[in-house]
Structure 1
């Protein structure tokens, strides 16, 4: 398989899932440059994925999967024994899908994408940071109530996606101080070997510019 990614983008969650399932060793990681949409071989990424967004996963048969929630579920379903996705058709699976949609639309796109997009007017960024973020983060805290992770079964691909969001919150100047449970949750995930590995690798790529 080929994972098309950008360092510290939401494709970080897929990298974590690949390491959790052991599929990282069988995956080629194809970097996409944020500003140019070029890949290291000089090819325009938009010829691979016209959306120009990551992650995208090219399967061995040539099929291209896009959209983070779908890619994450595919990766996790390849190795159900890894335990990072509930079985298809169960109530927990539908809860997972609800969480993935919430993280994608209400946290990632509505808050982070707004704030980190240079084209977003300052007033809209301030609204996202000061009005929208506190409301949505409070909802995330509620989802965690009484749990170490977002699902009763433990760490899942929803946590991998939420981890990406919380990693970028300081960069977006979204204050997490009012939410101590989120800080504790983030530290639990950071202590997980696969998460620590993925984060360290992507920070190094971002810092080195390679």
Structure 2
């Protein structure tokens, strides 16, 4: 299995999922601007979308959308309970969370990294994203994770988006104590620490 990634990009979510699942994989770094792999190969020949994450589950079997990838990873290790069972009410709740994160957070945060976007446009997207985070603050309450006590692949995705907001985009979460506690809780997980170190986002001890 190969994970095509860029450090700190949304590919961090399936990277966390792979480590939590305990599945063997190879990391392949992508230069998203140049659309090149570390060896100079054309990334567009791997994924014509030119985006990460992309996971090659088997030769010729490439999957490219994060919310789908993390479910496929989790379904390979059902005993790890990274996703609820197919057809259960809890599984549909997980799907609801994955869709919320990808459409309401990811798509409002992403444009803020664009250097050509005007400041007022970035402020618009930031305000919209902050409203979504405030909703999450109310939904988390005293829960450890999105699905309750059990860590799921949705948490790896939300954690990545929170990192974008607080560490890279300067969001002020001082009024969102549940989200701050959640971020710290997920960050403390050994496999999350390992993913951050492997991507060069956290210095090795």
Could you tell me which of 152, 165, 168 is aligned with 1:169? 165
Matched residue, 1:37: 35
What is the correspondence of 1:1-210 to structure 2 with a 5 Å cutoff?
A: 1-23=1-23, 26-110=24-108, 112-129=109-126, 131-170=127-166, 171-204=168-201
User: Mean alpha-carbon deviation: is it higher for 87-96 or for 171-180?
Assistant: 171-180
Once residues 77 and 131 of structure 2 are traced to their aligned partners in structure 1, the CA distance between those partners, rounded to angstroms, is: 35
Shift of 1:204: 4.6
Give 3-state SS (helix, strand or coil) of 1:87's partner: coil
Output one character per residue of 1:121-174: Cα deviation in whole Å (capped at 9) or x when no partner.
Answer: 211101122x21221011111231231100025100000000101111121122
Where has structure 1 moved over 2 Å in runs of 4 or more? none
The alignment covers a number of residue pairs equal to 202
CA RMSD of aligned residues (A): 1.5
Cα-to-partner distance string for 1:152-198 (whole Å, 9 max, x where unaligned): 25100000000101111121122111211111000111111001111
Task: Give per-residue Cα distances to partners, 1:60-105, cap 9 Å, x unaligned.
Answer: 2421101100001000111111111101100110110110111111
Query: What's the TM-score, normalizing by structure 2?
Result: 0.94
* TM-score, length-scaled by structure 1: 0.91
Structure 2 portions without partners, runs of 5+: none
Distance 1:66 1:35 in 2: 18
For the 8 Å contact 1:133–1:174, the answer to whether it is kept is: no
3-state secondary structure, aligned to 2:63: strand
User: Within 2, Cα distance between the matches of 1:204 and 1:126?
Assistant: 26
String of CA shifts for 1:26-73, please: whole Å, max 9, x gaps. 211111012211001211111111111110111224211011000010
